[in-house]
Structure 1
């Protein structure tokens, strides 16, 4: 696992978030977690990769779904409690995964890209998810932390679709 995170050092913050979302997707599949709040969280965060400027950012950020707020530290709700209970997943474990993904972005929105914070957050997602296989890093390697103040190469809708749908695991 340490080697995997080490290989992510050169990747942009957007690539790291995408990898974390792929891990979250695998985690939900492996644990039979299927719910509209998970779908909404996933879709919302993938949209981030195409936000271009404050006129798009403010409406996107203000429409954040419940799981983003949960990841920032808000209390759980009965719907989430029931979902996790049925899947025999502790709230702590689920919160660690969700907050790891959320912290990667929210920790960098109002300042410089947080290299160490985002790597530590990705490490937390990997550690707590315990997924059977991690995403192959090759599709993400063209987006470097050294570009665009840490955010990486400007992504096109085709890039995001490719990242979202790639299923190569190591």
Structure 2
């Protein structure tokens, strides 16, 4: 699977985790919607404004502290901050760990695995929608999805 497919699969797992645990916060909504924009980004004219508008949870995934309101929400739902950080950082590192260097197949797969293991969601999302987005294409990023591919991927988000 391409880096883009791994990101979206990890993001779907994160969404399911939040739904299954009852974790709701505007920062989570902003994070999810922001990262779902990634497949539609086309070139530096779109990338730079997108990257510069990243929400706090992206920075949290890169090592910043969590906001107190989110932490309170996690505590109220019995979710440890460490498991939440493992999931968020795994999602974030699939992209940010590959933006400014050579695509890291093993590292990005390791981050996806970290998300799967930390989230413990059941059922896991299907990988079938992403089978044509291959790491072998476009230097690890996969072929740019068509509008219908992107629409289909978003429709597969089901929160089971």
* CA-CA distance at 1:123 after TM superposition: 0.3
In the alignment, what sits opposite 2:22? 32
Provide the residue aligned with 1:109 in structure 2. Answer: 99
Which of the residues 106, 127, 136 maps onto 1:137? 127
C-alpha RMSD of the superposition: 1.3
C-alpha separation in 1, matches of 2:96 and 2:157: 26
2 CA distance for matches of 1:59 and 1:138? Answer: 31
Contact 2:25 2:70 in 1 (8 A): no
Name 1:23's counterpart in structure 2: 13
Find out whether 1:159 has 2:129 as its counterpart.
Answer: no
Cα-to-partner distance string for 1:114-149 (whole Å, 9 max, x where unaligned): 111100000000000000111111110011100000
Q: Which residue of 1 aligns with 2:79?
A: 89
* Deviations 1:13-65, CA, capped at 9 Å, x for gaps: 10111110111111011100111111100000010111111111110001000
Higher mean alpha-carbon deviation, 74-83 vs 93-102, is at 74-83
Offset at residue 151 of structure 1 (A): 0.3
> How many Å separate the matches in 1 of 2:151 and 2:84?
26
* 1:77-128 CA-partner distances (Å, limit 9, x unpaired): 2111111111111100000000000000000001121111100000000000
Please state if 1:55 is matched with 2:49: no
Pair 1:141–1:103, CA change in 2 (3 A): same
- Alpha-carbon separation, structure 2, partners of 1:136 and 1:154: 20
TM-score, length-scaled by structure 2 = 0.95
Unaligned runs of 5+ in 1: 1-10
**What are structure 2's unaligned runs of at least 5 residues?**
none
Given that residues 22 and 164 in structure 1 are in contact (C-alpha distance below 8 angstroms), is that contact kept between their aligned partners in structure 2?
A: no
Q: Partners of 1:131 and 1:29 in 2: how far apart?
A: 10
Asked if 1:45 corresponds to 2:56, the answer is no
* Contact 1:101 1:122 (C-alpha < 8 Å) held by counterparts: yes
